[in-house]
Amino acid sequence: MKVSIDKDACIGCGVCASICPDVFEMGDDGKARTLVEETDLECAQEAADSCPTSAITVE
């Protein structure tokens, strides 16, 4: 699965990093960022589904 974050939509809530810390972390700008571009971890989809602004795309 390919994972990406829309930085403009991200509000920096940290839900993704708490659900899937192997894929997401909070950057110095207060917004989420991906640690990997591709993953097979199911938590990446769970993080996308839990994002309050739908800023995460998993394809």
At 23-55, the pLDDT tens digits run 999 999 999 999 999 999 999 999 999 999 999
Rg (alpha carbons) of the chain, rounded to whole number: 10
In a domain, 24, yes or no: yes
CATH of the domain at 13: 3.30.70.20
**Other CB atoms within 10 Å distance of the CB of residue 33:** 15
Confidence of residue 59 (pLDDT cuts 50, 70, 90): very high
In a domain, 58, yes or no: no
In a domain, 59, yes or no: no
Would the CA dihedral through 42, 47, 49, 50 be positive or negative? Answer: positive
Question: What is the C-alpha to C-alpha distance for residues 53 and 38, in angstroms, rounded to an integer?
Answer: 21
In a domain, 9, yes or no: yes
5 exposed, middle or buried (CB, 10 Å; 0-12, 13-18, 19+)?
buried
- Per-residue model confidence (pLDDT) at position 16: 98
